[in-house]
Amino acid sequence: MKAVLTRVSRASVAVDNQVVGEINCPDTCGLLALVGVARGDGENPSRVETMVRKIAELRILPDEESVESVDAPVLLVSQFTLQGRTAKGRRPSWSDAAPGDEAEPVIAAIAEGLRARGITVAEGRFGAMMRVSSVNEGPFTVLVDC
């Protein structure tokens, strides 16, 4: 499982020109979490737990705070393209990405795990063509590989 975590002051995701998920944090920062699920991630609950812990606890907000420590919101968006391999040729290979029926419950489990920690979570719509907008702060972006 891979994630790109970006510090944002606001972010949203729209499907068919309708906003389906949004966070707005004018006085602080939240996170836009783009998560790519790999084949087999759904069979290993510890990967989900690790991703939840990383999103919640990484000290990547201003003043080395975490989402959990400052009650910051998260916009969670599934992004299978993070599993693309580009080492050979000119076309990415998506063979490492989990199929939708495997990936969707993993994304749902991450959202539920974050909510169980008291974190406000907005989400994209799994499998839809989404338009993601963000106002990055810093900019500050990290890659997480679990």
Residue 3: φ, ψ to 5° = -145, 150
Given the residues 6, 18, 50, 80, the one annotated as active site: 80
Given the residues 50, 79, 86, 141, the one annotated as active site: 79
Annotated catalytic residue 81 = yes
Annotated catalytic residue 80 = yes
Smallest CA-to-CA distance from 134 within 3, 25, 32 is with 32
113-56-44 Cα angle (round to 5): 50
128's tokens? 């839809």
Annotated catalytic residue 79 = yes
Given the residues 81, 86, 120, 140, the one annotated as active site: 81
Catalytic residues: 79-81
